[in-house]
Every structure is written in C-alpha cells, then in structure tokens.
C-alpha cells in the first residue's frame, strides 16, 4: 500500500529537527522525547489494509511527543503539513474529512492558546468547525468569534472570511437563516476581494443552503451551480461532492426525482472516492429521501438506518437526528404510528439538546400529525400549534403551511369545520404567496371543507 505521508526527511527538515544533533541535548528526558519523534516519523510503517487512522499514526504520535516537549509550534506545523492524498489535505483537515472527531479534539486542545496568534486563530476556527459537527453550537460560536477577533486584529482577511462563513453555517443550523445569509454574504465579499477561491466556494455553498431553507429555490440553485463551477475549475473534489449533493437537495425539494438521483449519485461517488464521510452520509440521506418521496418506504428505511449507524459511530448528532426524523416519517407513511412516534421522539431530543429550533419545530409538526392519526387530538393540537408558531418565527413558509394544513385536517376530523377552514385558508395563503408545491392540496381541502359546511354547494 502506497504511503500517504511525505518523506520523513522532508518533515524533519520542516520541523528543524536534526537527528545527529540529539547528542548535544543535555536533558535525558528531552533527548528521549525527540528520539521518539524521530522514530515515529522515520520508522513507523502502517501494515497493509491499515485503517485511515493507522496510516497517520506515526505523525500523531510524533505530534504528542512534541507537545510533551512543549514544542507547540512544531506540533502545529505537523498538523498543518499536507499529506500525499488525492486532495492534498493538511493532516488536521484530513482527520476531519475522515470523521475522526475524537482525535481532532485531542490534538487541537493540546496546542490551542499555546502558539502564535496567526496559527492560534486557525486552531480556534477549526475547533469551531469541530464543535459545529458535534452539535455544540454555543462552543462553536465562541471559538469562531475568538478566531474572528484575532484575524481582524492581525488583518488576516482569509481567516476573517472563514470565521464569518462558519458562523453562517451555525446560524443556519439553528434556523436563523436571515442571520446566516448576512454572514455568508460578508464572507463572499471578503473572499472575492482577496481572490480566495476556496472561500468563495464555501460562501456560495452556505448561501445556497440558507436560501433553500427559506424556500428560495432559484437563488439556492444559482448559488450551488456557481459553487460547482468554481470547484471544477479549481480541481476541488470535496467541493464538487458538496455542491452536487446540495443541487440534489434542491431538485428533491422541487420533486424532480430523476435529477435528484443523478446529482446525488455523483456526490456519493466523489465522497467515497476521497474518503469524505460527511459527504457519504449526506448522499445516503438524500437517497433515503428520494425513496421516501417515491413511496419506496422499505428501501428508504434501510438507508436511514445506515445513516443513523454511521452518524452515531462518528458522533455527528445532527445527521443522526435527521435520519431518525426520516425513519419517523417513513413509519408514519406505513401507518406504524407507535414506531413513528418513538423515532420522532428521539429526533426531537437531539434537536432540543443541540438548540436546533428549526429541527424541533419540524419534528414537533410531524409528532402532531402522528398524534392526530392516534386520535390523541388535544396533544396533537398542542404540538401543531407550537410548531406553527415556531416555524412562522423562523420564517419557514413551507413547514408553516404544512403544519397549518395539519391543523385543518385535525379540526375536520373533529367536525369543527369553521376552525378547520380558517387554518386551511391560512395555509393556502402561504402556499399562494411562496408558490409552494402543496398549493393544490390546500385548494382541494378548502373546497372539501366548504362543501361540508354548505352541502348545497356540492349539488
């Protein structure tokens, strides 16, 4: 198996470590630590079929020995050294690509606030990204704001842009999409000014996701296509995987399953080619959503269960919560409401733990629909009304309209037709305003309710 590590001599030279000079070090303990660094860099060889982590084990062990020497800058240099992988990632970014969050937390925690301000800003920004993936948004925001302050003071505009973009990702994750768009637009402006192509890619991708969440389909598709064009021009395989996956989600939202499948397949293949675990998870999740949309429920359930297992293994709680949500929807469609309720309950607990208000609202809306099917009408109304209020506050018209329609159907089952019609009219108004795909369903429900209230209309 070809090594993904650069030649050891080149790394030792970069670290300014000369093996022949070890005998001049007077402290036996210090000399022993440096000898361990050299041995791990020069003598360690991973076996055939070794895991991703085992392939870089020599570098990681060398890093920890450097930290024992309090040679923090040298340790950071090792983290920022590029591997000979297809995407030429730095060591710490490759660990993130593989999804090794525990190891990342260990290495970042050892050098943070121990190194130069310029390098420390990078570590703080990376810690922010790590805790975003792990779902602790409070910690993530704190780290990004620390990084932003340092980069602004140093005039490091690329770092400023990265922190702005990562803050945008967090605010989108907790449902504050307008705030997210503001951060991503600031990032895009900075990236274009300093000709930071990877930064421009990230800003466009973040903008597209935020616009999709607000139902701005054309804007979302435009941003993601620009992202894909830049990624291809830059030879950025991870960027291509992300952009094609995002385009797939836009088409899925529009109900275009053929195009969704094409772009999702491309994204999944690229993610697997470069070992991008989050991209693989996203692709599997989209495949599950495609089969759910096509009423191929058993296949959808299989994909969702695969996503839950991988996300749990990697500690990516938000993705785990989304897959549990999908399982709840699928079992609801199968009219297995007790199982659906259990999955939705678990999804809601994760969203609540992560302060993901958008996730809480979406899950709560579907919990209300399940409770309606179980004829637990009081509890269903409480869930649906709370969800409708939250979705309105978050500016999510599609979710709000679907929830109002659910309230209309609930009151229709209770033969409270006037109240049902009021909720239906509100859902219809939102669908007409935003051009939502549930427009026809709302109009049909409105007609049915008007007929029930005035049977003479049917004649």
Segment 36-63, tens digit of pLDDT? 999 999 999 888 888 889 999 999 999 9
Start-to-end CA distance of the chain, whole Å, equals 78
Which residue numbers in the chain have pLDDT < 50? none
Does 383 reside within a domain? yes
- Determine the pLDDT at residue 239: 97
CATH number of residue 382's parent domain: 1.25.40.10
- Determine the pLDDT at residue 263: 98
Does 107 reside within a domain? yes
Per residue in 354-371, pLDDT (tens digit) is: 878 889 999 999 999 999
Q: Which of 115, 141, 167 is the last residue of a domain?
A: 115
Does 3 reside within a domain? yes
Query: How far is 347 from 327, CA to CA, in rounded Å?
Result: 9
Does 269 reside within a domain? no
CB 407 within 8 A of CB 423: yes
Does 337 reside within a domain? no
Query: How far is 119 from 232, CA to CA, in rounded Å?
Result: 29
Does 205 reside within a domain? no
**Crossing angle of the two packed helices 177-193 and 157-173, in degrees rounded to 10:** 160
- Determine the pLDDT at residue 47: 84
Instruction: Name the residue with tokens 């591997």.
Output: 83
Query: How far is 292 from 297, CA to CA, in rounded Å?
Result: 5
Helices (H), 25-156: 28-42, 52-55, 57-68, 72-79, 91-98, 101-111, 117-133, 137-154
Task: Name every residue whose Cβ is closer than 8 Å to that of residue 323 and which is 6 or more positions away in sequence.
Answer: 285, 288, 304, 305, 307, 308, 311
Q: Which of 98, 115, 132 is the last residue of a domain?
A: 115
In whole angstroms, how far apart are CA 127 and each of 28, 111, 205, 279, 387?
Answer: 34, 11, 21, 20, 32
Residues 23/29/33/39 CA torsion (nearest 10 deg) = 50
Q: Can you give the residue range of the structural domain that contains 95?
A: 1-115
Q: Which of 89, 115, 141 is the last residue of a domain?
A: 115
- Determine the pLDDT at residue 421: 96
Per residue in 208-222, pLDDT (tens digit) is: 999 998 889 999 999
Q: How much is the pTM?
A: 0.77
**At CA 179, angle to CA 278 and CA 242, rounded to 5?**
25
Does 154 reside within a domain? no
Q: What is the DSSP letter of 21?
A: G
Number of structural domains found in the chain: 2
Q: φ, ψ for residue 176 (rounded to 5)?
A: -95, 75
Does 68 reside within a domain? yes
- Determine the pLDDT at residue 215: 84
Query: Please, what sign has the CA dihedral across residues 399, 403, 404, 408?
Result: positive
């Amino acid at each position: 198996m070809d090594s993904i590590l650069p030649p050891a001599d080149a790394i030792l030279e970069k670290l300014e470590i000369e093996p022949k000079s070890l005998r001049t070090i007077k402290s036996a303990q210090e000399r022993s630590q440096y000898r361990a660094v050299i041995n791990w860099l020069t003598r360690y060889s991973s076996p055939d079929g070794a895991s991703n982590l085992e392939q870089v084990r020599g570098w990681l062990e060398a890093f920890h020995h450097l930290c024992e020497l309090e040679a923090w800058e040298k340790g950071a240099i090792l983290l920022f050294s590029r591997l000979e992988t297809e995407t030429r990632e730095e060591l710490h970014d490759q660990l993130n690509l593989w999804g090794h969050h525990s190891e990342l937390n260990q290495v970042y925690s050892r050098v943070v606030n121990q190194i130069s301000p310029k390098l420390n800003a990078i570590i703080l920004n990376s810690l922010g990204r790590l805790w975003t993936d792990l779902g602790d948004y409070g910690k993530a925001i704190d780290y990004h704001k620390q990084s932003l302050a340092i980069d602004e003071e140093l005039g490091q505009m690329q770092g400023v842009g990265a922190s702005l973009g990562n803050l945008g990702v967090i605010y989108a994750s907790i449902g504050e999409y307008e705030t997210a768009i503001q951060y991503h637009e600031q990032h895009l402006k900075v990236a274009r000014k300093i000709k930071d192509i990877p930064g421009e890619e990230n800003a466009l991708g973040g903008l597209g996701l935020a616009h999709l969440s607000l139902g701005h389909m054309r804007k979302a598709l435009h941003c993601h296509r620009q992202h894909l064009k830049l990624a291809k021009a830059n030879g950025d395989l991870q960027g291509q995987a992300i952009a094609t996956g995002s385009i797939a989600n836009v088409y899925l939202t529009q109900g275009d399953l053929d195009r969704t499948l094409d772009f999702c397949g491309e994204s999944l293949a690229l993610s697997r080619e470069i070992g991008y675990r989050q991209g693989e998870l996203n692709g599997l999740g989209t495949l599950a959503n495609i089969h759910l949309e096509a009423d191929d429920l058993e296949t959808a359930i299989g994909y969702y269960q695969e996503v839950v297992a991988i996300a749990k293994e990697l500690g990516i709680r938000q993705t785990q919560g989304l897959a549990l949500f999908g399982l709840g929807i699928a079992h609801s469609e199968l009219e297995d409401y007790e199982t659906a309720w259990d999955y939705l309950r678990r999804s809601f607990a994760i969203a609540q733990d992560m302060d993901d208000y958008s996730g809480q609202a979406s899950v709560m809306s579907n919990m209300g629909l399940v409770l309606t099917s179980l004829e637990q009408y009081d509890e269903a109304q409480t869930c649906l009304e709370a969800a409708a209020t939250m979705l309105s506050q978050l500016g999510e018209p599609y979710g709000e309209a679907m929830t109002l329609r659910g309230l209309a159907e609930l009151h229709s089952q209770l033969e409270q037709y006037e109240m049902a019609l009021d909720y239906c009219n509100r859902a219809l108004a939102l669908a007409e305003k935003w051009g939502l795909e549930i427009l026809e369903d709302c109009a049909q429900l409105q007609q049915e309710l008007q007929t029930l209230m005035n049977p003479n209309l049917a004649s």
